[in-house]
A and B are shown apart, each in its own frame.
Chain A
């Protein structure tokens, strides 16, 4: 089974621009979560989607948004980029059925490295 894929792998943008990152989950997985990883803040949860609905959101400004399509693929968008948005953005998928099984493992993609200049 193919793993989680993320595109692009690397991205360079300038302040004020916007960016869209894409994530394709493992086939059959319906839950997709996004995380931001920076040296200073570590790994922080951005949001989670299940069956095209955002179920949980982390403490990030409204510039960060996302969506999920009917095929479970997900995109996240960051508008009006700031220098502090430079980070590794990780997407994870799981086969969580919606019943809240905390033992469901999240499988991560290789990440998108975003550099904002």
Chain B
């Protein structure tokens, strides 16, 4: 079973508008971390935002915020005031448990295109 599901293969948004990228996850571990990364066409994965399973508040980093709904097992990324440079692939990822492993499990990604 897929642990991370990103149901939107592609999304389009107008410059300066907000956009939400969906991510649902599946885990039975009470301790986990959720991450969002941006991958421009150059290939490098750029860390955007992190949410821990025990965090009481939704994470925010500048124009990025994470809409964390634990009961629904969703961790949607919200990008406010989209810019042309936001056009890229976006990946949701999860790390489970305190087991000391760095293994990240990634979703298939969403390709975001920002139109002028």
Q: Which positions in A face B, CB cutoff 8 Å?
A: 31, 33, 35, 42-43, 45, 48, 50, 55-56, 58, 88, 90, 92, 94, 96, 98-111, 113
- Report chain B residues within 8 Å CB of A101: 98
B→A interface (CB under 8 Å): 31-33, 35, 37, 42-47, 50, 52, 91, 93, 95-109
- What is the chain A residue whose CB lies nearest that of B100? A100
- A55–B50 Cα distance when bound, in Å, is 23
A100 touches B47 (CB 8 A): no
Among candidates B37, B45, B52, residue contacting A102 with C-beta atoms closer than 8 Å? B52
| Contact between A33 and B104, CB atoms less than 8 A apart | yes
- Write the chain A residue with the least CB distance to B93: A43
What's the count of A-B pairs with C-beta under 8 Å? 79
Residues of A within 8 A of B31 (CB): 102
Q: Is A105 a contact of B35 with CB atoms below 8 Å? A: yes
Q: State the CA gap A88–B39 with chains docked (Å).
A: 12
Interface centre among B44, B50, B97 (most CB of A within 10 A): B44
Contact partner, B103, options A45, A103, A113, Cβ 8 Å: A45
Q: Are A42 and B47 in contact (CB under 8 A)?
A: no
Cβ contact within 8 Å between B102 and A106: yes
Please give the distance in Å from B93's CB to the nearest CB on chain A: 8
When the two chains form their complex, are residues B50 and A103 in contact, meaning their CB atoms are under 8 A apart? yes
